[in-house]
Chain A
Amino acid sequence: MNPFVSDPEWGWWIVLYFYLGGIAAGAYFLGTLIELFGRSEDRPVARIGYRIAFPLVCVCGILLIVDLERPERFWHMLLQSEVVDRALREGWPLGGWATMLHAPMFKWWSPMSIGAWSLFVFGLFSFISFLRSVWPEGRIERWLGRGAVGRVLEVLGSAVGFFVASYTGVLLTATNQPLWSVTDWTGPLFLTSAASTGIAAVLLLRTASVSAESEERLERADLWVLGLELFVFLVFLASLGAVLPLAMQTWQGWVLIFGTLIVGLLLPLWLHLRVGTPDHRRVTAAALAALVGGFALRFGVVRTSPALLAVWQRHWEHTGAAPAPTPLWQTWQGLGLLATTAVLAVLIPWALRRHWRLSGAQMSLAGLVSLLVAVGVTAYSFSPDPGRILNPLSAVRFSPEEGRLRGGGPGASQQNRPSEIHLRSKLVGNLPHER
């Protein structure tokens, strides 16, 4: 863990963006999956999903812009400001098109850059789906909703949906902050959380048009997704390694761990286990719990990291040394995690078998997943530097900056180069050779 970083002060706007963005993405790709693979009777569920997604995406856009310290420059993330300036000086939109063509700003190795574009594209897709859901018989539904075009749009839409759901996690990982940069599992965790909160939102907002049967199918999907999120969450906690005990010295850490685990996962899972017996209050409670748990997760992840800086500093002042990176299994927190994983890895498949009467294939898949999770958590708990062990791909060089040699070209900064650097020199204009 590198405690010598500064706190970026990503606060409420970012937490809300991650949360609402997750719900929007989850609701959206739920809709696309239903339209692609589900029954037509479940279409109303998809429509509810679409009706949730687009408004939330707009809210997310505003949240992101408001969080910027220079909100009026939000477009700099999409278009290179210096190139646009040059084009404007060349008289764009009358002239300067050649320059403007170079304006798009895109760094495939920077999650924030690809995230901005993905949000923009997701906005378009969700807008189209939103229109389709509002006018199910309208022209847009006919042109873009049916046939091959519809299918393609839905496949692309679900891909973008999944992307937006997980890129926020990868964005946190691609930093040097204490908790964020230690694990690769924030992305997958945010994705499953998006799914669970998305379905929860759809469940909450279900209208009469949704038949009891499709509601049950929705509940089954929610159950499955919550199960998956629970397992990913356990792997996520294990992958924190030595940071986990430190995180549990902060109240934000407690919100992250127990808020998500109990309210966000175990409670809704338990409520959904009695799936099939229609009970309006039970489903609403489960959805609410999942939504609250989802928020606890987003808040916990974003706010525990800066709190760890203070924990590390206190430890350094008292002992004059950094906290020792002991493997998890040697700590009581680690042992607690291993025990919980063992219990759940047995309990969940048994519960599904007994209550859900899954088919053979589904049962074996669930068993396999829980086995995989048990192995993953154990491996992480016994490795001193868990962050990177299940990570053969880390050798892959992903950005032009990594491995760049000194004096070897601009690396990752070649795009938005201004034509003339704004000099602050007091000497400009009165150096001997300039006079």
Chain B
Amino acid sequence: MPDPVGFYTDTTVCIGCKACQVACHQWNDLPAGKGQRTPLPVLSGDSYDNTGSLSDVNWRHVKFIEKFSPDPNRSQAAWLMMSDVCKHCVNAPCLEVCPTGAILRTEFDTVYINQPACNGCRDCVTACPFGVIHMSEQTGIAQKCTFCYDRLKDNLVPACAQACPTNSIQFGKISDLKQRARTRVAQLNNENPNGAGPGGHRAYLYGADEKILGGLNAFYLLVDEPEVYGLPSNPKVPSRVMPASSFWSIFTALMTALGVLFAFRSRTKQKPAAPPTPGGPAPEAIKEVRP
């Protein structure tokens, strides 16, 4: 079994060139995204991000976050950039709920959607805490980054990591990546005693340890709150609610049954004035027919 592989993305060296987005489109023959009413998307007005979000044809999405203070000298000035992708979660919510088993874990510990098996029920879309999965407009099948499963099988580096000019996306064995990431975080934090990020935020790793969904195989070095990058701070596996939810359902079921029981056993204000139903025994003679 090959070692688990993943991406360590150092967002402090991401220059927002979107080479990763184009490389993914080119390698996977993904068509360009369309606007709602126009063949091309329109200018979003959200800094240099005209993609908006991951989609069925955008498996990579580079985000631009402008954090500037309003004073004319812009005393606080930071422009955060980050290339979002499926996190290939170690405890993957999408894979857990998929009723057809279309989403499976590969030998590289990545999460892959097996196109012929998916029937488009969209339960994975409800489950993914990062909003990664989208349904293809052409095929109605769930789409997301495949971690270049075909390239991994031919022992090549995934296309996006290959194209990234500044090694913001680093591909490799998770063990090596974690080591490199920790040294980089330490370097950043002692080089900037009052915080590497805007407003003095310290650098940290998001998804390298087990706290988030058992660890993310695509983990990030961030310098601001996860929400600023559009990432949830503590996403959960859907099945965690099952015990409690089932317990309360069973409890309510018993209460309902009890209610119905009481209703059909109690005396009624109504006198049985109605003549005996044809063929049925006389009302007074009604006793409990069965034990």
Contacts and interface: CB of A to CB of B under 8 A. Distances in A.
| Touch A–B, Cβ below 8 Å | yes
A227 B90 CA distance: 44
Contacts of B1: 407
Contacts of A162: 249, 253, 256-257
Interface in A102-144: 105, 107, 109-113, 115-116
B123 A30 contact: no
B249 A413 contact: no
A281 interface: no
Contact of A8 (B27, B53, B109, B122): B122
Interface size class of A (residues with CB under 8 A): 35 or more
Nearest to A45: B264
Interface size class of B (residues with CB under 8 A): 35 or more
A211 B245 contact: no
A331 to B, nearest CB: 21
B247 A393 contact: yes
Interface stretch (B75-83, B111-119, B186-194): B111-119
Nearest to A6: B131
A398 interface: yes
B79 to A, nearest CB: 15
B74 interface: no
A68 B272 contact: no
B245 A405 contact: no
A199 B265 CA distance: 16
A115 B249 CA distance: 14
B229 to A, nearest CB: 9
B99 A107 contact: yes
B244 interface: yes
A174 B286 CA distance: 47
A68 B100 CA distance: 12
A38 B91 contact: no
Contacts of B29: 424
Interface in A400-435: 401-407, 410-413, 415-418, 421-428, 431
Contact of B119 (A73, A113, A392, A423): A73
Central interface residue in A5, A29, A227, A431, by most chain B CB within 10 Å = A5
Nearest to A115: B99
Central interface residue in A192, A404, A410, by most chain B CB within 10 Å = A404
A319 interface: no
Contact of A402 (B27, B91, B149): B91
A34 B288 CA distance: 12
B115 A175 contact: no
Given A69-B135, A173-B245, A187-B248, A228 B256 contact: yes
A176 B100 contact: no
A39 B119 contact: no
B242 A174 contact: yes
Contacts of A223: 263
B95 interface: yes
B248 A406 contact: no
Contact of B151 (A412, A418, A425): A425
Given A73-B100, A176-B93, A33 B264 contact: yes
A431 B230 CA distance: 39
Given A412-B96, A423-B153, A169 B245 contact: yes
Interface in B258-282: 258-266, 268-270, 272-274, 277, 280-281
Interface string A380-407: 0000000010111110101101111111
Given A69-B141, A398-B240, A422-B115, A40 B102 contact: no
A185 B248 contact: yes
A232 B91 contact: no
A292 to B, nearest CB: 21
A399 B239 contact: yes
Interface in B132-189: 132-135, 139-141, 149-151, 153-154, 156, 174
A392 to B, nearest CB: 8
Contacts, number: 360
A209 B150 CA distance: 67
B105 interface: yes
Contacts of A427: 150-151, 154, 156
B99 A116 contact: yes
B123 A112 contact: yes
Given A41-B286, A76-B119, A191-B253, A413 B101 contact: yes
A6 B128 contact: yes
Contacts of A333: none
Given A5-B131, A192-B252, A175 B260 contact: no
Contacts of B86: none
A407 to B, nearest CB: 4
A362 B262 contact: yes
A254 interface: no
Contact of B100 (A105, A217, A417): A105
Contacts of A350: none
A417 to B, nearest CB: 6
A377 interface: no
Contacts of A191: 249, 252-253, 256
11 contacts: A6-B133, A30-B260, A38-B265, A80-B100, A224-B263, A398-B240, A406-B90, A411-B91, A413-B104, A415-B101, A424-B28
Given A170-B249, A276-B269, A422-B116, 9 more contacts: A39-B288, A68-B121, A69-B135, A107-B101, A170-B242, A176-B232, A217-B263, A224-B260, A358-B266
Interface of B: 1, 3-4, 27-29, 53, 90-93, 95-106, 109, 112, 114-123, 125-135, 139-141, 149-151, 153-154, 156, 174, 214-215, 217, 227, 230-232, 235-249, 251-253, 255-266, 268-270, 272-274, 277, 280-281, 283, 286, 288-290
Interface of A: 2, 4-10, 29-30, 33-34, 37-42, 67-71, 73-74, 76-77, 80-82, 105, 107, 109-113, 115-116, 158, 162, 165-166, 169-177, 180-181, 184-188, 191-192, 195, 209, 211-213, 216-218, 220-225, 227-228, 232, 275-276, 278, 322, 358-359, 362, 365, 369, 388, 390-394, 396, 398-399, 401-407, 410-413, 415-418, 421-428, 431
